Amino acid sequence: MRIGIFPASGALGTSTYTTLLSEVPNNQVTLINRHPEKVAKKYVENGVTLRQASYESSSEELEAVFAGVDVLFLISFPSSVHLYRTKVQTKALDAAQKAGVKHIFYSSLAFVSIDAETAKAEVMAAHLDSEAHLKELARTNSGLSWTSIREGLYSESFPVYAAVADLKNPPSTIRIPQDGNGFGLSWARQDELGEASARLIASYARSPSAFEYTNKIVTLSGPKSWTWTEAVEILSRATGKDINIQEVSLEEYKNLPQIKAYFGTGEAANTLDSAWEAIRAGEAGGVTKSLGEILGRVPESFEKTMEEFVKK
């Protein structure tokens, strides 16, 4: 059974395929990305097939690179622009179906209540669109099945939402548009999410009939939901500095230099309105046991992750 990963790049893609290549025969894996020459030579020497394509490729080009792939891990396009993201992901899903892919794993996002089909956060819109499209493709094609992996909010993105430019030297006051004791976030480490995704893919490849997540959503979250007060206290202990939280308006938050530097002032910045609405409603704090069950261990705590990030 041939397994493909597209695009096999970035932090999630790389952590997924490095784990996958320790789980399955390497000559059964096809890595597809914009720059295949960047894949480590040792993997090619071990039998990995490389193909070149990106989300900007045509439908015909995508169908060609997906040809011969039985199981595809489609990693979502990194954009906050809803309609464009939906467009390119739908194109890729359609190409995979036309190429004869039998099972599609889709990397969704856990910025939504567990198993819900609607969400407040605009950043979830394209994911929900893609999940719905996958379901429709499978409904009209009995030879296609799917699994949506709702990946938890990356611990690595904590400095972005907290508007902290340097974790080693954080400000004495963190300004966010929420009370520190409101709903929290169930942060998860990105490389553990990649590892778990790979283990899900390998499990399906070994025995499709026994796979428990066929035509289902699986949510991978951190082991608990940390309130902003708890998270900032963790950062304070890790750095040895006193840090407090100040609740500010959303407009003041979006005008913070760190936020403007990351999100700019256009469409991406505007997605923060609905993102914080979702956070305040608890849609980013859902917790499941799935990540630990798939990893076979307790996922890394937010405390340990922050301690490591501060030391880097």
DSSP string, 70-105: SEEEEEPP--S-HHHHHHHHHHHHHHHHHHT-SEEE
> What pLDDT was estimated at residue 80?
81
Distance, CA of 19 to CA of 203 (rounded, Å): 12
Compute the average pLDDT of residues 271-298: 97
- pLDDT above 90 (res 270): no
- pLDDT above 90 (res 2): yes
- This prediction has a pTM of 0.96
Helix (H, G, I), strand (E, B) or coil at 120: coil
Q: What is the pLDDT of residues 106-153, one digit of tens each?
A: 999 999 999 999 999 999 999 999 999 999 999 999 999 999 999 999
- pLDDT above 80 (res 61): yes
- pLDDT above 90 (res 269): no
- Mean pLDDT score across all residues of the chain: 96
Whether 16 and 33 have beta carbons less than 8 Å apart is answered as no
**What is the residue type of 301?**
S
> What pLDDT was estimated at residue 212?
97
What is the side-by-side strand order in the sheet with 145-151? 49-52, 29-33, 3-6, 71-75, 103-109, 145-151, 216-220
Compute the average pLDDT of residues 75-103: 96
> What pLDDT was estimated at residue 264?
84
Distance, CA of 214 to CA of 232 (rounded, Å): 38
Q: What is the pLDDT of residues 229-255, one digit of tens each?
A: 999 999 999 999 999 999 999 999 999
- The two tokens of residue 160 are 């972005």
Residue that the structure tokens 């949510």 belong to: 219
Split at pLDDT 50, 70, 90, the class of 268 is: confident
Whether 93 and 134 have beta carbons less than 8 Å apart is answered as yes
DSSP 230-248: HHHHHHHHHHT---EEEE-
- As to burial, measured by CB atoms within 10 angstroms (0-12 exposed, 13-18 middle, 19+ buried), residue 214 is middle
| Cα end-to-end distance, the chain, whole Å | 40
Q: Which of 306, 163, 162 lies closest to 222, judged by CA?
A: 306
- pLDDT above 80 (res 180): yes
**What is the residue type of 88?**
V
Phi/psi of residue 87, nearest 5 degrees: -60, -50
Split at pLDDT 50, 70, 90, the class of 267 is: confident
> What pLDDT was estimated at residue 249?
97
- pLDDT above 90 (res 69): yes
